[in-house]
Amino acid sequence: MTGNAVKVKEVVLRKLQMRLKNPFATSFETMQDKTFCLLEVIDENGNIGWGESVASDLPLYNEETVKTNQHILEDLLIPDILGQTIGHPDEISERFSPIRRNNMAKATIETAIWDLFAKNNRMPLSQALGGKKKEIQVGISIGIQDTTKALLNQIEGFLTQGFRKFKIKIKPGKDVGVLREVREVYPDIPMMADANSAYTLKDIDHLKQLDDLNLMMIEQPLDHDDIVDHAVLQKEIRTPICLDESIHSVKDAMRSHSLGSCKIINIKIGRVGGLTEAKKINDYCKQVGMPVWCGGMQEAGVGRAHNIAVTTLDQFTLPGDTAPSSRYWDEDIIEPEVTMTGGIIQVPDKPGIGFEVNREMLEKFAVYEKAFKL
């Protein structure tokens, strides 16, 4: 849609530090404290758009960090949009394209501009994006546990809360055996595994054993930057491969589809550089009949709100990782917090992201703040 243009008058970059309720373990790290960039973009009408970066302290998921975000935002992207009139948020990704990658930094501004644009045009962000859903289905991502009993306890609790998909983190030594035990106890739950690149093609025979476990998919079993070996693996296993780390753009989605590297794509707004690119991947995957879903990055409320909005697009047919705020936070930075009933989150109908940022929480969690004015 077209609509009222956005003229950027002021930008405030904050870094927030928040403690997760419980440590979250994957094949590559255990996270307890999260530092991230939060961007406030103010336009000439006094409207405010919010964007949250999903980059973390160390470049373990991808190459970006909080510090590289700060550099790219402060030295390149903020000066580039300050004072500019932006006709439509779709212009932003084009505008930033000379800068290679740094997708999470780019998405921080891009998502804030989308929020601002939707607010300026008095419509929910989901609607501005073209999303139609009024509610979304929600899954849960469960980190690697010390024991299978602990994992089973977690699943039991999350099952009671109504989650619609159970994503279980795996790594060598904590994979087929653990998932088999879970399947014995829960023969029917919608279950998938996420390996975060912990395997190689040498593990084909081992990974083939997953085919007996009726998994919805295995996420990113091989290298973070690979789509060739994944195509080899997908020919050998029946379990659908879902790509996460390897997909940075709609072009990556096209190449992966034509090579047969995956049957499903996990879209993370930050990883693909923003909502415009996420929409393009949605549209392409719809054309070729490939299901997509929204992955999580342990977001605070602003990122969570953007995830809810993107999930309303029509090819997001599988439940995502967007759990309620209480999954990770004792106190979130938005009001109201994201809540869920029976595995369903209601899509807000207020303008923009549909949640207010709680300034008291910003004070509490901010470890850095810098304003950029005209």
Ligand X SMILES: O=C(O)CCC(=O)C1=CC=C[C@@H](O)[C@@H]1C(=O)O
Is residue 370 annotated as a catalytic residue, yes or no? no
Minimum distance between the CB of residue 104 and ligand X, rounded to whole angstroms?
A: 11
Minimum distance between the CB of residue 297 and Mg ion, rounded to whole angstroms?
A: 9
Q: Which residues pair with 10 in a beta bridge?
A: 42, 373
Specify whether the CB–CB gap between 130 and 313 falls below 8 A. Answer: yes
Return the exposure string of 25-41: e unless at least 16 CB atoms fall within 10 Å of the residue's CB, then b.
Answer: bbbeeebeebbbbbbbb
> Is residue 360 a known part of a binding site?
no
Minimum distance between the CB of residue 129 and ligand X, rounded to whole angstroms?
A: 20
276: partner contacted, choices Mg ion, ligand X, none (Cβ within 5-8 A by kind): none
Specify whether the CB–CB gap between 173 and 166 falls below 8 A. Answer: no
Question: CB-wise, 81 or 179, nearer to ligand X?
Answer: 179
Span interacting with Mg ion, options 80-88, 119-127, 144-152, 211-219, rule CB under 5 A: 211-219
Minimum distance between the CB of residue 3 and ligand X, rounded to whole angstroms?
A: 31
141: partner contacted, choices Mg ion, ligand X, none (Cβ within 5-8 A by kind): ligand X
> Is residue 205 a known part of a binding site?
no
The answer for residues whose C-beta is within 8 angstroms of residue 331's C-beta and 6 or more apart is 361, 364
Question: CB-wise, 194 or 332, nearer to ligand X?
Answer: 194
The catalytic position among 15, 174, 268, 279 is 268
Question: CB-wise, 126 or 298, nearer to ligand X?
Answer: 298
Q: Which two tokens stand for residue 97?
A: 């394209």
Question: CB-wise, 30 or 200, nearer to ligand X?
Answer: 30
Minimum distance between the CB of residue 158 and ligand X, rounded to whole angstroms?
A: 11
- The per-residue DSSP string of 127-178 comes to HHHT---SEEEB-EEEPPPSSHHHHHHHHHHHHHHT-S-EEEE-BTTBSHHH
Phi, psi of 371 (to 5 degrees): -100, 140
Instruction: Give the chain's end-to-end CA distance (angstroms, integer).
Output: 28
State the pairing for strand pair 6-25/366-373.
antiparallel
> Is residue 188 a known part of a binding site?
no
61: partner contacted, choices Mg ion, ligand X, none (Cβ within 5-8 A by kind): ligand X
Minimum distance between the CB of residue 197 and Mg ion, rounded to whole angstroms?
A: 9
Question: CB-wise, 28 or 372, nearer to ligand X?
Answer: 28
Query: Could you say whether residue 90 binds Mg ion (CB under 5 A)?
Result: no
Q: Tokens 């997001």 correspond to what residue?
A: 316
Q: Which residues bind ligand X (CB under 6 A)?
A: 26, 61, 141, 194, 196, 244, 295-298, 321, 323
Is residue 132 annotated as a catalytic residue, yes or no? no
How many other CB atoms are found less than 10 A from the CB of residue 364? 13
Span interacting with Mg ion, options 40-48, 150-158, 186-194, 281-289, rule CB under 5 A: 186-194
Which region holds residue 342: left if phi is over 0, alpha if psi is between -120 and 50, else beta? left
Query: How many whole angstroms separate alpha carbon 126 and alpha carbon 309?
Result: 4
**For Mg ion, which residue of 43, 115, 175, 194 counts as binding (CB under 5 A)?**
194
Convert residues 220-259 into a mask of x (bound to Mg ion by CB under 5 A) and - (unbound): ------------------------x---------------
The catalytic position among 15, 119, 169, 279 is 169
Question: CB-wise, 89 or 295, nearer to Mg ion?
Answer: 295
Query: How many whole angstroms separate alpha carbon 256 and alpha carbon 247?
Result: 8
Q: Is 6 exposed, middle or buried (0-12, 13-18, 19+ CB in 10 A)?
A: buried
Query: How far is CA 227 from each of CA 220, 221, 238, 260, 264, rounded to the nearest angstrom?
Result: 10, 11, 17, 9, 13
Greatest CA span in the chain, whole angstroms? 62
Binding residues for Mg(2+), by number, are: 194, 219, 244
List the catalytic residues. 169, 268
Binding residues, by number, are: 194, 219, 244
List residues near Mg ion by CB under 5 A: 194, 219, 244
